[in-house]
Amino acid sequence: MSLPLWFQVTSLIVLSLVLIADLLLIICRPHVPSSKESGLWVAFYVTLALVFGGVMFGIGGEQAGSEFLAGWVTEYSLSIDNLFVFVLIMASFAVPRKYQQEILMIGILLAILFRGIFILLGAALIASFSWIFYVFGAFLLVIGIQQFFSGREDDVERNNSLLSFLQRRLEMTNEFHGLKFRIQVESKKLWTPLVIVLVAIGTADVVFAVDSIPAIYGITESPFIVFTANVFALMGLRQLYFLLGHLIDKLVYLHFGIAFILSFIGVKLVMHALHENELPFINGGEHVEWAPDIGTWESLIVIVLAMAVAVGASLWKLRKDRVHSPSTGSSRP
């Protein structure tokens, strides 16, 4: 698989321009978007990703196109999990809705920055150590099992410990003052809650970057595809927050879908590592021929089905709970 340099450079420039335009839109027109507006933007970004995937098929062939689509779906799934933590952070600090767009955009830009760093690190490790896939696979299996039993509660608890430490050390106001980090109160300079919120979001971004980069390297070894899939997954996340923010914490089975995807890719990475094995203490340093090398299309189908089942089951439970809720009455659908 070889993607022309002009295509890679052009793609990165266009993606940068789209992100800049999104940022300027927030600065020039700060507002709380309606559900309709958010839905249209989410549809636009999803369509943009699918169009880009089609271009990848045309320029890079079936391998590049299928790897991008599988990587994008994987990262989009993990981004929805990321969104759940954003919802918890915003609710915990009672962030006014009029400031949430700007804070979310900063969070998304931080996520792109951190993921870019981990993508470069992952590419360097893969180029230098073929056995790193064993490490990536084992790591994702551990994270998948943790997610299965506790969801993101452990990450949130660690985040809260850090924030409690900062709140004890910093002199702070109780109210937000726009996007100001510090304000003057009489003769004192005080921090605003904004700094704590951004630390919380930045910490969550690092945690998700650590999870998501090994996961997508289980789909493709192309740093360009890894990066573009991540950017497309994060684009529209701000609008998705306003579209699904009230619903995302009600998708009670979502973490099971995420856990299954992470565990599946972990197994896929271990199988790939066995198939390409060069470690002398495993099978005498020879390739393990019986280890199946799971293809990209099979991975895409498994990932889509896992998310569809998790979301579908969550919506079914939500509907069932509403039907049996005393406040809605059993007669309502």
Query: What is the model's pLDDT at position 315?
Result: 85
Q: Give the separation between CA 67 and CA 159, rounded to whole angstroms.
A: 33
Mean pLDDT of all residues in 63-74: 92
Q: How confident is the model at residue 1 (pLDDT cuts 50, 70, 90)?
A: low
Q: Give the separation between CA 65 and CA 72, rounded to whole angstroms.
A: 11
User: Quick one: which of 272, 269, 310, 295 has its CA closest to 140?
Assistant: 269
- Map tokens 């889509």 to a residue: 304
**Is the pLDDT reported for residue 299 higher than 50?**
yes
What distance lies between CA 301 and its chain's CA centroid? 19
Tens digit of each residue's pLDDT (9 = 90 or more) over 133-180: 888 889 889 888 888 887 655 555 655 666 676 667 777 777 777 778
What's phi and psi for 154, nearest 5 deg?
-65, -40
pTM: 0.81
Tens digit of each residue's pLDDT (9 = 90 or more) over 234-268: 887 888 888 776 666 677 788 888 889 889 988 88
Element (DSSP H or E) covering residue 122: helix 97-128
What's phi and psi for 184, nearest 5 deg?
-100, 125
Q: Is the dihedral of CA 42, 44, 46, 52 positive or negative?
A: negative
- Map tokens 């659908």 to a residue: 333
Cα distances (Å, whole numbers) of residue 304 to 72, 272, 308, 310: 11, 21, 6, 10
Mean pLDDT of all residues in 99-123: 85
Q: Which SS3 state, helix, strand or coil, does residue 190 take?
A: strand
Query: What is the model's pLDDT at position 328?
Result: 47
Instruction: Classify residue 102 by burial, with Cβ atoms within 10 Å: 0-12, 13-18, 19+.
Output: middle
Mean pLDDT of all residues in 85-94: 78
Percent of the chain with pLDDT over 90: 16
The residues pairing with 184 across neighbouring beta strands, listed in sequence order, are 189
Q: Give the separation between CA 28 and CA 31, rounded to whole angstroms.
A: 10
Q: Which SS3 state, helix, strand or coil, does residue 109 take?
A: helix
How many residues would you count in the chain?
A: 333
